[in-house]
Each structure stands twice: as structure tokens, then as C-alpha cells.
Amino acid sequence: MEKFIRERAKNAKNDILSGLTVALALVPEAVAFAFVAGVDPLVGLYAAFMIGLITSVFGGRPGMISGATGALAVVMVHLVASGNDMGAEGENLGLYYLFATVILMGIIQMLAGVFKLGKFVRLIPHPVMMGFVNGLAIVIFRSQLDMFKENINGEKIWIQGTDLWLMIGLVALTMGIMWGLPKLYKKLPEALIAILVVSAIVIIGNLEVATVGSFIRSGGGEGLKGGLPQFQTEIFSKVPLNLETLKFIGPYALILAAIGLIESLMTLNLVDELTETRGHSNRECMAQGGANIITGLFGGMGGCAMIGQSIINIKSGGRTRLSGIIAAVTLLMFILFASNLIEKVPIAALVGVMFMVVIGTFAWSSFRILNKIPLSDAFVLFTVSALTVIFDLAIAVFAGVIISALVFSWENAKKIRARKRMREDGTKVYEIWGPLFFGSISAFNEKFDVNSDPQNVEIDFVESRISDHSALEAVFNLVNKYEAAGKTIKLKHLSKDCKEMLYKASPKFHEVIVEDVDDPRYYLAANPEKFTKSIHEYEVLK
């Protein structure tokens, strides 16, 4: 216990400082995503606070930051607009449909945790992961370019002249501090120092630049000032609990739950790689779901893990749950007590921090390995990156996994082999090599010549497996063809699970499968642990 406390206390300073840095970076992101979804900035800020706090305390990945995200906001905008159309003008009914959807989204995510679906993230191939981080880096970069625009009569126009060069200069200064400070003194949080230095220059120099406050007001918001989140009792009076409501919000909830879990679990994997530790995916599903239920009930827009802020936290030294808790609580303090100070932080400083996140997020090694990896993997990497930018993360990951699975199936389908030999008694033996599954069925069937084969045929599966229903049907049809031709066929060296599957499928296999086998290769393949134990016992006796 002492060691546990000592290790956490040792990193407490880094966790606290990185938490403060993340809190500053969360403000414009949460506000921007609230604008994207078409809701008040406080709805985004409350979501960032509640989801960040709950997942930090109960989540499966210490050091990972969660909050309102753009991937979810782009789906929510259609939900909010459609909900508003269902009510009277000014009723703001879409906001309450959003809260109800977020609650249902959380329930779905908790069910994913209960049924331990988080483990399926292991099926995501590495090229998909690289494509994911590359695409997300590009998305983050593009989102920051909007900060170089100003809102004039409801239209966003690029800033020009002195304002543009001043913005570029402050962004460059922020990036320069973050790049150079660790080379001089590694124990200082470079992101937080860069934000404070650039903010001091702007305030002392009375420079006319965009700040957090002006950014909020340009989007129609009144400012950061707000109170504690309130329980939204109006959800139950304004949103009817009936089948029509479920039909409306159900598809949105499913999409949001899927996007949220995919982004959270992939961010978890990325943080695992950065910290060389292991998170708990199913626990993270439960925490994300519970957090979204709470945030929906208390007026937040929902959210999931944020890769940009998570990387800021990890790069700043945040490693334990304390960093996420500090970030969430500090964000609430900003809303309650320090809104005036935070509104003075220049947008350029936060853009500079995010640009450094983009540089750290992008997998630059993908350029070096493109000519060293299979063409199919390079195609998956590029496709996932492009789809992440064009559509969203969920579509990109699903497409990447499907393409990778198809390529894997195709490559393994070509590996099926059949070595043929004749025994002295005239029996023809087919020794099958390679996996027998839906993709290799055609090649498997081509190996046999039923009409020309002798009276007795034996198929040896010692180096093969019957993997699925398609393979089972292929073997069943082959047995029927030989029997219809009046010939005898035997199946040999099938593993225990393969035999059980065949016996369950048809009693006919009891007649053709050879149970009494005297071949050491078969016992090694069927029960390697027992074989290894026997060898060990033999060595001990020897």
C-alpha cells in the first residue's frame, strides 16, 4: 500500500500541472463542438466536466481524457435540428431530444461493457490504427484552421493583414516554447508555460487578437459564466416516452454509442502504446456509458475519449487518474469562478498547443514503411486516413477492418494444399494442408477427382482445420459424392473440436471419421500441452 501511495505521490506534480493544461485546452474545444451541434456553449462545457470526471475516476485507462468531441457533434447537429422542427418555434425541443438520446447512448455503451464487447477492439489491425491517428491528426489540424477566420454577418472569412501575421506569430511562439522548453528544462509543463507566456504578452501588450471570450461571443454565446449542472426534469415532460420517440432517437443513439466506443477504445490502445501499460476496455465501456447517462440527465451533450487532449496529458506527464480529475474540476472552476480570466486567453496559444498535438499524433513513420509493408496494408492505411477526414471515425474503422478481413481471407484461401499419395493396399490418401473455411472451399473441391479415384479414399486433416459451416458443408458434400459413386471414404486426424462439430452436424460422420489413430503428429497437433508435459516428464526421468 505504501508503495502504491508513494508511486502516485511521486507523479502528483506532473498530474496536477498536466491537468491544468488540459483544462485550458478543453475550453475552446468544448465550446466549438457545442456550436457544431447547435447547442449552447455551456452544454458542451458541462459535458466535458461530467464525462471527464466520471471516466477519470471509474474508467479503464488512467491518464486518458474524455469530453465533448467533434466526431459526435457532427451527428448531433442533425438530431437537434430535427428535434427543433418537431416543436414550436423557440421551444428548443431538439435540446431535450439530445439529452434523451445521450441517455440511451449511455445505456447501450454500458450494455457493451456488461457483455464484454470491448475486447473486440483487439481485432483492429495496426494499419487501421495508423490510418486512424493520421486521419484524426488531419481532422484536428483542419478544425484549428477555423480559428484563423472571423465571423462577419454570419459568414466566416479568413483574417488578413496585420491580424493574420499577429495570429501566426503567436501560434509560432507557442509552438516554439513547447519545442524548446523541454530541451532546456524537462520538468516544466511546456504546454501550460507556453499558454501563460503568450497570454501575458497579449494582456500586457494590449494586443487586439481573438480570445476565448471573443470566440464564444462570435458564435452567439454570452460567455463562460454559469452555475453547477442542474438535473433536467423537463426531459421527462417534453420528450414523450413512447415507441415513436424510440424510433426517432434509437438510430442516433446507436450511431453515437458506436462512434463513442470506437474512438474511446482506439484512444485507449494509443495511450497504452505511449505509456507501455495496459488499460481495461470493458471497464472503459462501462465508465463511458455511465458518464453519458449522467451528463444526459444533467444537461450535457455527451462525449467520449479525446485523442488530442489525451496526448497533451500524456506528453505533459499525466499518468494517473489524478490528471483527469484535476482537468475536469479545474474546468468547472473556470465556469464558476474564473470565466473572466479564461476568456482573456488568446486563441492563438491554444491553436499552437493543438498544432503540436497534431505533429505528435501523426504517425510520420507511415511514410517510411509504405514501401516495406504489403500493398494491401498500405491501401488500408491510406483508406482509413481518407475516410476519417471525409466521413467519420466509425465509417473509417469499419471499412478498414472489413478490407483487412477480406484481404486476410483471400490470402489464406490460396494456402490450401493437397498432397496425394497411394498406399500399398491401393488406398489414395489426400493430405490436406492449410485452413479450410469459406474462402478456401473452391480450391479445396478442385483437389479431388471422384470419378477417377480408386475404391478406397482417405483424407488426412493433420495439418488442416475445418473452421466454419461452409467448410463443414464442403466436407459433407464431398463424402456424399464419393458414397454416391460407390466408393469408401475415411476422414482421419481431425482435431477434437472439429470432430465434435461434424458429429453434431450429421450422424453420417460417425461412419467415416477414423477415431483409432496411431500417429504422434496427430497427438502433438490435437493436444500440444499434454505432449509437452510428456516430453518434460521423460526428460526428468532421464
Q: What are 113-124's pLDDT values in tens digits? A: 999 988 887 778
3-state class (DSSP) for residue 249: helix
* Residues 24-39, mean pLDDT to the nearest whole number: 79
Does residue 77 have a pLDDT over 90? no
Report which of residues 391 and 16 the model is more confident about: 16
Specify the 3-state DSSP secondary structure of 218: helix
Q: What pTM was computed for the model? A: 0.73
Instruction: Please report, as a single letter, which amino acid is at residue 316.
Output: S
Q: Note down the domain range covering 534.
A: 417-541
Residue 67: pLDDT over 90: yes
Average pLDDT, the chain: 86
- The verdict on 391 and 474 lying in the same domain is no
Answer whether residue 495 shows pLDDT above 80.
yes
d(CA 46, CA 68): 9
Residue 392 has pLDDT above 80, yes or no: no
Domain contains 447: yes
User: CB–CB of 356/173 below 8 Å?
Assistant: no
- What pLDDT is stored for residue 537 in this prediction? 46
Q: Cβ(492)–Cβ(458) under 8 Å?
A: yes
Q: In the prediction, which pLDDT does 221 show?
A: 65
In this structure, are residues 344 and 203 in contact, taking their beta carbons and an 8 Å threshold? yes
In a domain, 169, yes or no: no
Q: Which of 281, 293, 286 is nearest to 109 (CA)?
A: 286
* Assigned domain for 132 exists: yes
Closest CA to 97 of 301, 392, 303: 301
Query: Could you give the C-alpha distances from 318 to 18, 57, 116, 294, 314, in angstroms and in order?
Result: 6, 14, 28, 25, 5
| 467 Cα distance to chain centroid | 29
Do 448 and 500 share a domain, yes or no? yes
374 and 254 together in one domain? yes
Given a cut of 80, is residue 520 above it in pLDDT?
no
Which has the higher per-residue pLDDT, 356 or 55? 55
**C-alpha cell of residue 370:** 509504405
d(CA 172, CA 277): 33
* Alpha-helical runs (H) found in 115-188: 126-145, 161-184
Residue 541 pLDDT grade (very low, low, confident, very high; cuts 50, 70, 90): very low
Contact by Cβ (8 Å): 28, 344: no
Give me the phi and psi of 430, to 5 degrees please. -105, 115
> Does 381 share its domain with 299?
yes
Query: Which comes out higher in pLDDT, residue 442 or 224?
Result: 442
**In which residue are the cell numbers 484552421 written?**
145
pLDDT at 158 over 70: yes
In three-state secondary structure terms, 460 is strand
- Residue 330 pLDDT > 50: yes
State how many domains the chain has. 2
Give the per-residue pLDDT at 115: 93
Query: Which SS3 state, helix, strand or coil, does residue 293 take?
Result: helix
Q: Same domain, yes or no, for 391 and 483?
A: no
More confident position, 516 or 172: 172
Q: Which residue has the higher pLDDT, 499 or 192?
A: 499
Instruction: Tell me: pLDDT of 535 over 60.
Output: no
| Cβ neighbours, 10 Å, residue 81 | 12
The answer to whether residue 161 sits within a structural domain is no
538 pLDDT band, cuts 50/70/90, is very low
Indicate whether 131 belongs to any domain. Answer: yes
Residues 290 and 321 in one domain: yes
Most confident of 40-54, 224-238, 520-534: 40-54
Q: Which residues pair with 458 in a beta bridge?
A: 429, 490
pLDDT for 45 equals 92
pLDDT for res 518: 56
Residues 254 and 308 in one domain: yes
pLDDT over 60 (residue 129): yes
One DSSP character per residue, 6-33 reads HHHHHTHHHHHHHHHHHHHHHHHHHHHH
Q: What is the pLDDT of residue 39?
A: 85
Do 112 and 227 share a structural domain?
yes
User: What are the phi and psi torsion angles at 134 (to 5°)?
Assistant: -65, -45
Quickly list H helices, 185-306.
190-204, 212-218, 234-238, 243-275, 281-297
Q: Cα separation of 313 and 266, whole Å? A: 16
Is residue 37 very low, low, confident or very high in pLDDT (cuts 50, 70, 90)?
A: confident
- Report d(CA 27, CA 215) in Å as an integer: 11
Residue 219: per-residue pLDDT? 64
Confidence of residue 1 (pLDDT cuts 50, 70, 90): very low
User: What average pLDDT does range 96-112 have in this prediction?
Assistant: 96
Is pLDDT larger for residue 217 or for residue 437?
437
* Cell, residue 502: 461434424
Identify whether 187 is part of a domain: no
* Non-local CB neighbours of 306 within 8 Å, separated by 6+ positions: 26, 29, 65, 66, 67, 69, 267
Same domain, 124 and 243: yes
Confidence at residue 524, expressed as pLDDT on a 0 to 100 scale? 46
Euclidean distance between CA atoms 273 and 368, whole angstroms: 19
Calpha distance 44→71 (Å, rounded): 13
Q: Residue 513: CB partners within 8 Å, gap ≥ 6? A: 490, 491, 492, 494, 499, 502, 503
Classify residue 204: in a domain, yes or no.
no
Residue 318 counted as domain residue: yes
Q: Examine the fold and report which residue of 403, 427, 450 is the final residue of a domain before the chain moves on.
A: 403
- Regarding whether 435 and 313 lie in a shared domain, the answer is no
Residues 456 and 502 in one domain: yes
Query: Per-residue pLDDT for 224 more than 50?
Result: yes
What are the phi and psi torsion angles at 427 (to 5°)? -80, 135
- Domain holding 435: CATH number? 3.30.750.24
Task: Check whether residue 394 and residue 447 sit in a common domain.
Answer: no
**Identity of the residue numbered 88:** A
CA distance 308 to 160: 28
* pLDDT tens-digit map of 229-276: 999 999 988 999 899 999 999 999 998 998 899 889 988 988 998 888
**Mean pLDDT for the stretch of residues 55-62:** 94
CB 303 within 8 A of CB 4: no
131 or 1, which is more confident: 131
- Going through 110-255 in order, the beta strands assigned E by DSSP cover 149-152, 155-158
